[in-house]
Chains A and B, each alone.
Chain A
Amino acid sequence: MQLAMTAPPGDPVVEGRVPGNRGIWVGILCELTEFALMFLAYAWFKWVHPEDFHRGPGMLNTASGVWNTVVMLTSGYFAVRALLAIRRNDSVAARNWLIGTLLGGIGFLAIKAYEFSWNVDHGVLGTGNSFVAIYYYLTFNHLVHVVWGCLGLIWAILRTGFGAYSPEDHEGLEAATLYWHATDLAWIVIFPLLYVVR
């Protein structure tokens, strides 16, 4: 595995530089492996219970799924803008973009809370069928990763506010945003599996 840094940390323009640090990439690869196993479980249950999965997306609040995806992608965009800001030594803008990223994460959690409440009101319960069980399994797991990501963002916001990052050294900020993007990547797959494909 080629995880070694090939250029000084923080150099934004070096083509081929591995961003962040080894630790965060171990975490990201573990996260994506965990979700890959869940996608295999989804495929298996869909094979065994095709009728449940054919009716499944129609049982869910699709608008919540779409809004969650848009909020997650927008939050990821804010994270990139934070990184670009710190690279031009504008720590105030970087902190503000990170706060925007965190608000996106909180917005995601708020939409999820609304969706779960809507589910209860409409009888979409974990004991319903195999599709609903996989739906809760995937979304709760993803939600936990969003919470971890939010905690990492809070840490990066505080560190940025205290002036800990510079254009030359902002590895911690970059690692927090990378984890956020990995959580985004998982949702990019989860959204169509649960809300679109029948």
Chain B
Amino acid sequence: MDRQARRVTWVWLGLVALTLGSAWLGEGLASTGVTAGLVALIVAVKGQLVIRHYMGLTGSGSRLRRLMCLYFVVVPLLIVLVGGAAAALS
């Protein structure tokens, strides 16, 4: 296995581990607000990993890469906002 294949294998294992971490959070061990915050962080990290290592968008100057990365900043923020609101209402 060459260097690129080894790197993407580690990324895949990391993504699976983060997924299992998310599922564990779903067991309701933390409060709604904390869960939403952690889930948002996990979504952001997973999104950035897929954009960079799976899709191959590596150029820091690329507008397309910035746009894709921005998506995985805005959507996690939405999760935090909605989760925070739900925690405040409960």
Contacts and interface: CB of A to CB of B under 8 A. Distances in A.
Contacts of B78: 39-40, 43
B86 A54 contact: yes
Contacts of B16: 70, 73-74
Contacts of B39: 192, 196-197
Q: Name which of A12, A57, A77, A195 has the most chain B CB atoms within 10 A of its CB.
A: A77
B28 A188 contact: no
Contacts of A84: 2, 4-5, 8
Given A69-B19, A195-B26, A181 B83 contact: no
Nearest to A58: B28
Given A18-B62, A84-B5, A196-B23, A79 B54 contact: yes
Q: What is the interface of chain B mostly: helix, strand, loop, or mixed? A: helix
Q: How large is the interface on B (under 10, 10 to 19, 20 to 34, 35 or more residues)?
A: 35 or more
A1 to B, nearest CB: 6
Interface in B34-82: 35-36, 39, 42-43, 46-47, 50-51, 53-64, 67, 71-72, 74-75, 78-79, 81-82
Interface string B1-43: 0101100110110011001101101101000100110010011
Q: Name which of B35, B63, B79 has the most chain A CB atoms within 10 A of its CB.
A: B79
B42 A18 contact: no
Given A74-B16, A80-B54, A62 B23 contact: yes
A25 B64 CA distance: 9
A147 interface: no
Contact of A62 (B2, B9, B26): B26
Nearest to B39: A192
B86 A18 contact: no
Contacts of A2: 62-64
Contacts of A113: none
A66 B20 contact: yes
Given A54-B90, A191-B22, A15 B15 contact: no
Nearest to B66: A2
Interface of B: 2, 4-5, 8-9, 11-12, 15-16, 19-20, 22-23, 25-26, 28, 32, 35-36, 39, 42-43, 46-47, 50-51, 53-64, 67, 71-72, 74-75, 78-79, 81-83, 85-86, 89-90
**Closest 8 interchain pairs by CB?**
A16-B59, A196-B26, A77-B12, A2-B63, A192-B39, A19-B56, A181-B54, A73-B15
